[in-house]
Amino acid sequence: SVLLDVCAACQDATVTQELLKEGFHRDLLVKVKLGVVGEDAGECAVAVRTRLPTGIYVDPYELASLQQHNLTKALLIPDVIDVEAPEYLATDFLLLLYLEPDPWCSQCFRAALPVHGRYHRPAEESEEVLVVLKSPEVLVCCCDNYLLTACWKPAEVEAPCSGRNNCPCQWYSVMHKPAYKESILQVPVGLRQHSSLVCVVTLLTTVLCSSLILAAVCKQGCSS
């Protein structure tokens, strides 16, 4: 009867993710609803694990500031990220984002995290490239709740259960329905045929600014 109860209670979780704002600097909003019938999941730690593509990154210094003010909690693997590298020189990385319980839903969790688009190579035709974020893996850590943990498979995750020290930290991977649609970041890029014009304008601007600085220095020297 216990097995029947478990099978009846276990359902796929639901994941949605959105990219808020516009431009290069966005907020990634992730929502998870656990598909466990008749159980309060409020005591569980819930996180999502995803590999972000090279076209997008999380600023580790910004993340550290947010965590210092308890505005978010996440782990970056590796934790050293070159925020200045363009997309074609960058490497992807693993993001573990902890979710907070939704006060209006006992089985719902959510979190938001600032993400940033990288510069790409100039394109031949289109003035934008698309960076696709795949649906993340859902991880759950619950304390001494057989019905909940029996629904899912143990996962190898070397991360604490969001500061919960009152129980062993065993993460479980949750079967889930992927996001209804893929999250796509549209990054503006230059066109190759404009390269010569950009180089000429940049050179002229550099010469003009250098001349103005030199003239100001000479004028200051003469007046003194």
Dist. CA 82–CA 66, nearest whole Å: 19
- Are 217 and 178 members of one domain? no
Asked if residue 199 and residue 128 are part of one domain, the reply reads: no
Same domain, 33 and 58: yes
Query: Would you say the C-alpha torsion 145, 45, 100, 15 has a positive or negative sign?
Result: negative
**How far apart are the C-alpha atoms of 61 and 72, rounded to whole Å?**
13
Whether residues 45 and 106 share a domain: the answer is yes
- Does residue 110 sit in the same domain as residue 202? no
Looking at the fold, whether 173 and 69 belong to one and the same domain comes out as: yes
The gap from C-alpha 206 to its chain's centroid, in whole angstroms, comes to: 37
Contact by Cβ (8 Å): 164, 44: no
Is the same domain home to 122 and 214?
no
Give the Å distances, CA to CA, from 76 to 95, 107, 119, 188: 5, 26, 21, 26
How many structural domains comprise the chain?
A: 2
Residues 41 and 146 in one domain: yes
Give the model's pLDDT for residue 27: 93
In the chain (224 residues long), the average pLDDT of successive 10-residue segments reads: 45 84 89 71 82 92 93 90 91 93 87 92 72 88 64 80 62 74 68 52 68 75 62
Q: To which residue do tokens 């001494």 refer?
A: 144
Round to whole Å and give the CA distance between 115 and 123: 23
Cβ(16)–Cβ(108) below 8 Å: no
Collapse the DSSP code of 95 into the 3-class scheme (helix H, G, I; strand E, B; otherwise coil) and give the result: strand
Asked if residue 206 and residue 126 are part of one domain, the reply reads no
Give the residue numbers spanning the domain of 165.
1-190
Residues 90 and 6 in one domain: yes
Question: What pTM was estimated for this model as a whole?
Answer: 0.76
The tokens describing 55, both together, are 């076209």
120 and 26 in a single domain? The answer is yes
- pLDDT for position 149: 61
> Is the peptide bond preceding residue 122 cis, with omega within 30 degrees of 0?
no
Residues 137 and 209 in one domain: no
